[in-house]
Amino acid sequence: MASAKKIKFLENKSRGNSLSLLHRRKDHESSPTLLKLWGSLPPKPYCDRLVSIYFKYFERTMRVLHRPTFMRQYERLWHNNESEIGSSSSIIAQLTSLMTRAYLLDNATNANEHEAHTLYLKETAINYVEAWLDELGRKQRTELSTLQVEILVLFSSSVRKPETLWRSSGALVRSAMTIGLHWDPANIKSISLYQKEMRKRLWATVLEIDLQASMMGGMPLIAPDLDNYNPVPTNLNDEDFDESSTKIPASRPLSDLTDTVYQVYLATSLPQRFEALSLVQRSTPDANEAIEIGRKVEKCLVSKPSILSLHRSQLMPGDRGDLLHRVLLDLYLRRPLFCLYKPLLYNDQGNPEATKEVWLHCIDSSLAILAYQDFYNPPILKEAADGPSSEQDFYYYTCKTDTLWAALMICQRIKQICQHPEQQMHAHHEQALVATVQNTIRSLIARMGRKGSDLKDIIFLSLVLKWVQLPDSCPERTYELHLTATRTMAACVDQLLQYELRSNHYRHRQDEYTEPLPRIRTSATPMSHITINSNPITPGLALNPSLPERRATPNISEEAEQWLSDFPGLAAEFTNFQAELYNGNDAFNSGVAQDWEYFWQ
């Protein structure tokens, strides 16, 4: 040993101590990036508000932080000076990461006061946290607190291309396995009861992330099979245990609404949902086996405790965060059903009864997903019709893709009913299905101008709904589709103008408003062709009284320019406005070109 120590000493000397300094720097927590994170933290009152928002709206379906432990470290952080922040490196990274989610749900009226901090959280903060992770030494990389930061970073970066999200979730699974989270903590004697419980929570969260990312990307699961160990956390509140606990209380029944009950119920259904996704990854899934597994997932759906249901009579009006996680719990249980059943619908199974059952489950789930929107309408939010809240923004931020796919699934069913009327089910009448999709389109139009709204989604869904209702032999098929697109765009223009005038009334109120001149028609289109049909696509919000009444006509660009001239401020901006035209092949704004011919096979 003495000789080995001498050799090591002389090796380090011969290298000019560079290796020793490198390791020392990696183990030294006060890195330049950590100092940037510390120096960039917003004032404590603003951080306090975002921390409160975070724990109100998150930490239920996917548990990451133990609130009492985090809050103790958080309060201690503000008493540290710069020389002491090395001991608080993880809490600084955790705080920064969670605030990059929480600010999305901040409805503060004095938004301008914190504009610089919001810009930091939106653009720079996560880059700093990722740089901090890259600087960590090997020992700190294997700590639970570091994995917590990695999970929070992935949540904050989740709006990405599905394949990128899948790669990131795979890296997260490997990080968790490096720490040994895939081992049953009951068999690990050298860790505390607090660590054992947190390991179960974190592994259940990592598995859920892997499952959801694999479904969204259409890729295989990275996590190992759950045959040997399926992590089901103890159904407890965070206050029921801490780092000093020598005994963990008994798990509460699922009828008790605890901090963890959402995750506990999701974790109990992980084996069934993993089995469903694993079957889908086979080239030709067996229909009978798929239906059998689907019934297991359906049983998880119908067996939910009443405290987790979405019935309005059972919702707690004061806890909007609780509503969000009831929606997410329901959605996470339904997604595997779509993955499992879609291949069966697009390939003839030669089993009419099985196909009928699959369609029934798919449409039931589609209708349930589209019904989520009802909980986020302004009247339900108890807000003015002209002020949709950040809750609504976050709902669509999280669930818009599921909403679109559910609407498209219903459109596919409408198309099938039109071609084969004898297959219509009493529970899913064609007119009711059409009305449901129309309501979704109206909801999306009403959000024009808000975060996450996209004209392409609305135009595409409107055209699909019209297309599936038209018989193949319709002589005016092209004209009807063109007229639908025109009406939809006109409704979007109306909604955007209302939003613009509400948002920037201080600027346009200075415009001298005069009664608009009578419109001079230059189109030869007969008036009978521009009458809105019995189910018009109109904005969901009340029209602004200052806007002149306007009818949707096929020459939308001419009408829009003429109408904008009624507002000189807007007209001047419109004249100078330049933008790239929309890419019709990228309907969901995901950067992925869609092959619509293949899609509708």
SS3 labels along 216-252:
HHCCCCCCCCCCCCCCCCCCCCHHHCCCCCCCCCCCC
Distance, CA of 60 to CA of 104 (rounded, Å): 17
CA angle at 203 for the pair 198 and 208, rounded to the nearest 5°: 130
Domain extent at residue 393:
370-511+533-557
For residue 380, pLDDT beyond 60: no
Whole-number average pLDDT of the chain:
79
Confidence bin at 579 (pLDDT 50/70/90): low
In a domain, 430, yes or no: yes
- Give the per-residue pLDDT at 495: 85
Top-ranked range on mean pLDDT: pick from 73-82, 409-418, 576-585 = 409-418
Q: How far is residue 249's CA from residue 197's CA, in Å, rounded to a whole number?
A: 11
pLDDT at residue 322 is higher than 60 = yes
pLDDT band at 297 (very low <50, low <70, confident <90, very high): very high
The enclosing H or E element of 572 equals helix 568-576
Res. 47: pLDDT tops 90: yes
Burial classification of residue 24, based on how many CB atoms lie within 10 Å of its CB (0-12 exposed, 13-18 middle, 19 or more buried) = exposed
In this predicted structure, what is the pLDDT of residue 358?
87
Does residue 440 fall inside a structural domain? yes
| Residue 21: inside a domain | no
Taking residues 407-420, report their average pLDDT: 88
Instruction: Indicate the pLDDT class of residue 101, thresholds 50, 70 and 90.
Output: very high
More confident residue, 205 or 490: 205
Q: What integer pLDDT is reported at residue 140 of this predicted model?
A: 86
- Does the residue 501 lie in any domain? yes
Residue 541: predicted pLDDT: 34
Q: What confidence category does residue 23 fall into, taking pLDDT thresholds of 50, 70 and 90?
A: very low
Query: 428 has which bridge partners?
Result: 425
Q: How confident is the model at residue 378 (pLDDT cuts 50, 70, 90)?
A: low
Q: Who has greater pLDDT, 600 or 88?
A: 88
Angstrom distance (rounded) from CA 41 to CA 44: 8
pLDDT tier, 515 (very low <50, low <70, confident <90, very high otherwise): very low
Residue with tokens 């390991």: 199
Please give the pLDDT value at position 335.
Answer: 94
The total of other beta-carbon atoms located within 10 Å of residue 438's CB is: 17
SS3 541: coil
Amino acid 290: pLDDT: 87
Answer yes or no: is pLDDT of 312 > 60. Answer: no
Distance, CA of 321 to CA of 557 (rounded, Å): 42
Number of domains in the chain: 1
pLDDT score at 249 = 93
**397 domain-assigned:** yes
**Averaged pLDDT, 246-261:** 93
| pLDDT score for 254 | 92
Q: Is the pLDDT of residue 128 over 80?
A: yes
What mean pLDDT do residues 378-406 have?
Answer: 73
Does residue 418 lie in a domain region?
A: yes
Whether the predicted pLDDT of 115 surpasses 90:
no
Say how many residues make up the chain.
Answer: 601
Contacting residues for 487 by C-beta, under 8 A, at least 6 apart: 532, 536, 537, 552
Cβ neighbors of 132 (< 8 A, separation 6 or more) are 31, 33, 34, 37, 89, 93, 149
Q: Does residue 40 fall inside a structural domain?
A: no
- pLDDT tier at 30, thresholds 50, 70, 90: low
Asked if residue 538 belongs to a domain, the reply is yes
User: Computed from CA positions of residues 449, 452, 457, 462, in that sequence, does the dihedral angle turn out positive or negative?
Assistant: negative
With tokens 């239920």, the residue in question is: 60
